[in-house]
Amino acid sequence: MIWLRSIIFYLLMLVFTIIFTALGILLLPTSFKIRFSSMSHWAACNLWTLKTICKLDYHIEGLENIPRGPAIIMCKHQSAWETLVVQRLFPTQVWVIKRELLRIPIYGWGLATMQPIAINRSAGAHAIRQLVSDGRKRLEKGYWVVVFPEGTRLAPGQHGEYQPGGGLLSAKTGYPIVPITHNAGYFWPPRNLIKRPGTINVVIGPTIYPQGKSAKEITRETAEWIEKEGAKLPAPPFAAGSQN
């Protein structure tokens, strides 16, 4: 049943992606805030399908920590799930993404309508400068900037190197960071079709302010909070090999 539910979820996700990509293109003449408000319902539809079909829900802690904004969101990256829930938790936002995502048929077209900061990760220092420059412009317009600092999806318990972009953006602009950790990778494993039933735990941390700190200090403080709090989140029974 888990496999069947997962396949049904992906079929519905494809349908939603086609519909909302068309909507995003039609809404290009409107303001970005209107477009984001409409397009973020794509995430709402997929979260509803996960809950209804796959029996996968989520629980949020730390909503009181969300500042009035705008701010820089730095989130643990374990699966595609967190890209859905972030859209529902925060106001008008843009994502820092790898440029290759824009080449994906249909999905990439819709993503392009959402003003992402699309960087070439092999460009090194140029990519960092682009992130800071474009990120500053988005923040000054009142948009939140979403960064997945490890750069790639990692299974629960794995830790990647936290890239300097988010911390540098905060240090250069003065905008704070909102750290987020979760255990979604147990239920929606990276590069895996399976969607396991259960409840994902999400924790939104206290705002990290950059004043008086270097970019390295900001990145280190963010990484330490995410990893420390993430280690406290419970592993579901099936993670130890038990049956569902």
What domains are defined for the chain? 2-236 (3.40.1130)
pLDDT digits over 69-116, tens only?
899 999 999 999 999 999 999 999 999 998 999 999 989 999 999 999
Yes or no: say if 9 and 16 are a contact pair by the CB < 8 Å rule. Answer: no
Residue 176 has a pLDDT of 98
Cα(205)–Cα(228) distance, integer angstroms: 11
Do the strands 117-119 and 93-98 form a parallel or antiparallel pair, or are they unpaired?
parallel
Cα(113)–Cα(102) distance, integer angstroms: 10
Confidence of residue 240 (pLDDT cuts 50, 70, 90): low
What pTM was computed for the model?
Answer: 0.92
- Can you read off the two tokens belonging to residue 34? 């209107």
Q: CB atoms < 10 A from the CB of 227, how many?
A: 13
Residue 243 has a pLDDT of 39
The residue with greater pLDDT, 204 or 151, is 204
